Amino acid sequence: MDRKSIIGIILIAIIFIVWGKLNQPNKEELQRAKQRQDSIALVKQQQNVLMATPDTVTVKKDSLSADSATIAIKANRMGDFGKKAYGEQKFYTIENDLLKLKVSSKGGRPYSVELKKFKTYDSLPLLLFNGDSTVFNINFYDSKRNNIYTGDLFFSADSTKPSNIIVKENADSLIMRVASSENKYIEYVYKVVPGSYKVDMDIRVVGLSDKNDQSGFDYVTLNWVIFSPQQEQGWKNESIYTSLYYKPYGEDVNYLRNTKTTEEEINTKLEWVAYKDQFFSSVLMADNTFLNAKLESINEETDTKFIKNFKSEIALPYNPRTDNTIGLSFYFGPNDFKLLKKQFGDKKLQDLIVVGRSIIKWINQGIIINLFYLLSKWFSSYGLIILLMTIIIKVALLPLTYKSYMSTAKMKVLKPMIDEITKKIPKEKAMERQQASMAVYKKVGVSPLGGCLPMLLQMPILFAMFRFFPVSIDLRQQSFLWATDLSTYDSIYSWSVNIPILSSIYGNHISLFTILMTVTTLLSMKMSGTQQMSDSQMPGMKTMMYIMPITFMFVLNGYSAGLTYYYFLANMFTIGQNYLFKAFVNEEDLLKKLESKKVKTKKKSKWQQRLEDMQKQQQTMAKKRK
């Protein structure tokens, strides 16, 4: 190892140390972390209590609390509806075989949603949101500040179904109504049908307009706020895939960037807004369109029970001069590509599952996902499915792999010639040395980059897998060998003690598939011929090539075990292929073949010979004149 390589390694080590020191938590942060750990058991207990016996809230007129004073002020501004700002909170449930929706009488809003076929990483019921931390409020505004906020009103469950509401057979429905009189009310109609993660919601506004003087409410907005809870084992990894998505009318799906706090005003019509985590989403869709929206995403503190806080203020289509029915629907369910494309393909909900862009997206949606689902029909073990996918992909790429190996083999047999040039030409004449080396390659018809192009053509597959496995819900909580969940990291050893630097850049566990991936990557690189490079040709390059796998070991330690398992298998097949190729390629015969291909000096054309003769004559005449 030369001096430059040693300096490079030392600099990289210094960068890691400084970065770790900068990100090392202080005493206050460590104390907060301890308090969060101590409260985990309490949080789980509270979640179980909420599932079994929901809280009730009673708001009375004679209460003297500050909250009641605020309610009284709002009640005065809501006119006849103000009397509905007092009451007792009750809960109603509608459900099917897939989900259970709990609705609160306060605000008539969705209070919690449980997905029946899924559990959290610690085996608790999977709730997309739950409790009073959520907000679903319809706001009616007019120029006289006589506003109505449905979130502050107490609705009642109406057992009578209006004649103009059609409920499908076997559907479960619920009507929540808040009324100031028999002909003046706001009504929410919820409907679910068996076998669907969709919940229909119609907002019916009756009697709030004055048809004589046209003095109804000017505009209506919907405030929707939820705290997205942690559902998976790796908080940091899950946070990468948790974001707010939306679809402008007639445009592609977009999302808010993953920064600490992100706000965005959308001044065009919207088709839907989605609060998405790694494997599940809560989506609010308009039957037609929303008018505009203000969206916000706020990151929660690391390793707490919530990942992000999502907020939306959405302008609803509303005619102030007549009664209104505003059609909405929710999707509360898994991020399943096939399911979303089949049921909501017209709204492009499948684009919630980000599997890359441009060619990477095309490879995943066109090839990888279809291959994965095809194998899933025949095999139940996802470890076996990933193995079969690896075999199929490696066989398909075999021509490129063979071409890359042959290029490396040619460079290897030519190495003694290149070493001779290196000895003869001093390193101070780097350009001359490089030209001499290229002349040798040119004579035998070998390109030094011949092995790079086939490898580059295989890179999109590697990137496609990097995008596909972490978002594949089929791998969620599927075990294989020592990995209990292929969608998250496979820990063979973990520790709770915070180790400065190591904890910040590596984590508090050891992933065995990541270790195996790193070791096989180093072996594959050694066999591929990178060791045949001369240090004088590419100073420090070999060292950097070996540092990269170590770097990825740190990066991928908290990623999906399915991903690192695939990379490990791909490396093993590459090593096997190299052994197979080596058995059939004789290096002595290859060298003789290259030497026989040396480019012979071509016979000059008559035109070229005449041109050279003319040049010589001109040079001779010029000398005579002198």
Q: How far is CA 520 from CA 17, 205, 288, 400, 583, in A?
A: 27, 65, 54, 20, 20
Beta carbons within 10 angstroms of residue 51's beta carbon? 16
With a cut of 60, say whether residue 36 has pLDDT above it. no
The structure tokens 């050279």 sit at 612
Distance CA 503, CA 554 (A): 10
Give the pairing type, strands 58-59 and 509-511: unpaired
pLDDT recorded at residue 381: 93
Q: Which residue has the higher pLDDT, 13 or 294?
A: 294
Q: 553-606, pLDDT tens digit by residue?
A: 888 888 899 999 999 999 999 888 888 888 877 766 767 776 676 645 444 555
pLDDT-based confidence at residue 452 (cuts at 50, 70, 90): low
> Strand 491-494 vs strand 87-88: parallel, antiparallel, or unpaired?
unpaired
Cα 407 to Cα 334: distance, rounded to the nearest angstrom: 46
pLDDT of residue 558: 86
SS3 34: helix
Residue 423 has pLDDT above 80, yes or no: no
457, amino acid identity? L
Rounded (5°) CA angle 612-615-616: 90
Measured CA to CA, the distance from residue 480 to residue 486 in angstroms comes to: 7
Mean pLDDT of the chain: 78
Indicate the SS3 state at residue 599. Answer: coil
Are 578 and 528 in contact, with CB atoms under 8 Å apart?
yes
Q: Which residue has the higher pLDDT, 626 or 186?
A: 186
What is the Cα Rg of the chain in Å?
34
Please, what are the domains in the chain? 58-353 (2.70.98.90), 361-596 (no CATH)
Angle in degrees, CA 424, 430, 436, rounded to 5: 55
Element (H, E) at 612: helix 606-625
- The pLDDT value recorded for residue 35 is 45
**Crossing angle of helices 415-424 and 430-444, rounded to 10°:** 150
Sequence-ordered list of residues with C-beta below 8 angstroms from that of 187, at least 6 positions apart, any chain: 158, 162, 175, 176, 177, 178, 202, 203, 204, 205, 206
Name residue 170's amino acid.
Answer: N
User: For 53-155, where are the alpha helices, taking DSSP H only?
Assistant: 66-77
Residue that the structure tokens 């984590």 belong to: 507
Q: Cβ(459)–Cβ(614) under 8 Å?
A: no
> d(Cα 401, Cα 575) in Å, to the nearest integer?
11
Q: Which residue shows structure tokens 């480019």?
A: 599
Strand partners, 297: 262, 310
Question: Residue 363 corresponds to which tokens in the numbers above?
Answer: 């490879």
pLDDT for 147 beyond 70: yes
Residue 552, H or E segment: helix 541-555
Task: Check if the beta carbon of residue 173 is closer than 8 Å to that of residue 94.
Answer: yes
Largest pairwise CA distance in the chain:
123
Q: Cα–Cα distance between 148 and 151 in angstroms, integer? A: 9
Q: What is the pLDDT of residue 542?
A: 61
Q: 246: which strand partners?
A: 254, 273
Task: Give the residue carrying structure tokens 């969620």.
Answer: 476
194: phi then psi, degrees, rounded to nearest 5: -60, 145
pLDDT at position 164, please? 46
CB 523 within 8 A of CB 571: yes
Provide the terminal-to-terminal Cα distance of the chain, rounded to the nearest Å: 58
pLDDT digits (tens, 9 = 90+) for 86-120: 888 899 999 999 999 999 999 999 999 999 999 99
Identify the band that residue 46 occupies on the pLDDT scale cut at 50, 70 and 90. Answer: very low
One-letter identity of residue 85: A
Q: Pinpoint the alpha helices (H) of 336-451.
A: 337-344, 358-363, 369-378, 382-396, 398-413, 415-424, 430-444
Rounded to 10 degrees, the C-alpha dihedral 115/121/122/124 comes to 0
Token pair listed for 323:
């009664």
Read off the pLDDT band of 257 (50, 70, 90).
confident
Burial class (CB in 10 A: 0-12, 13-18, 19+), 514: buried
Predicted local distance difference test score (pLDDT) of residue 223:
94
What's the pLDDT score for residue 258?
77
Q: Cα angle at 360 between 355 and 362, to 5 degrees? A: 90
What is d(CA 613, CA 619) in angstroms, rounded to the nearest whole number?
10
Q: For residues 10 and 434, what is the distance between their CA atoms, to the nearest angstrom? A: 29
Spatial separation of the C-alpha atoms in residues 535 and 435, rounded to whole Å? 17
Predicted local distance difference test score (pLDDT) of residue 398: 86
CA distance 268 to 272: 12
Per-residue pLDDT for 222 more than 60?
yes
Tokens of 146: 């006589």
Residue 175 predicted with pLDDT over 90 = yes
Could you tell me the CA-to-CA distances from 431 to 425, 435, 445, 448 in Å, in that order? 10, 6, 21, 16
**For residue 301, what pLDDT is reported?**
81
Higher-confidence residue of 275 and 617: namely: 275
Strand partners, 270: 248, 290
Q: Are strands 280-290 and 254-255 parallel, antiparallel or unpaired?
A: unpaired
Q: Residues with Cβ < 8 Å from 315, sequence gap 6 or more? A: 219, 220, 221, 290, 291, 292, 293
In a 3-state reduction of DSSP, which class is residue 41?
Answer: helix
Report yes or no: 373 and 493 within 8 Å, Cβ to Cβ. Answer: no
Length reported for the chain: 626
CA distances to 117, 119, 298, 546, 563 from 230, rounded to whole Å, are 17, 12, 15, 36, 21
Q: What is the pLDDT of residue 44?
A: 40
Is 354 in a helix, a strand, or coil?
A: coil
